[in-house]
Structure 1
Amino acid sequence: MIYVIKILERAIESEKEVFRRLKSDTLKKVSEKNIEDIQKAF
């Protein structure tokens, strides 16, 4: 039973890591696009 809990904890941690990476990639893309739009405006 403890073994199963450990596996679940590890899975949750890796999910968080994937989500964090996705979030930062998305933020980077959004900010790059915003910068391009601002440059076009001027």
Structure 2
Amino acid sequence: EARRALIQYIEGFYNPRRLHSGLGYRPPLEVLDEWFDNQSVA
């Protein structure tokens, strides 16, 4: 019960699709995908 409540709280607080002003009004997942795409493999 407590675990379920905690997960629901976190998912409600941190919405990965919400636009963030610090990321140029883009969702965090989009920024993360772009970052991984730009990484070069050594």
- Structure 2 length as normaliser, TM-score? 0.41
**Higher gyration radius (CA):** 1
More helix per residue: 1
Q: Which has the higher contact order (CA 8 A, sep 6+)?
A: 2
- Structure 1 length as normaliser, TM-score? 0.41
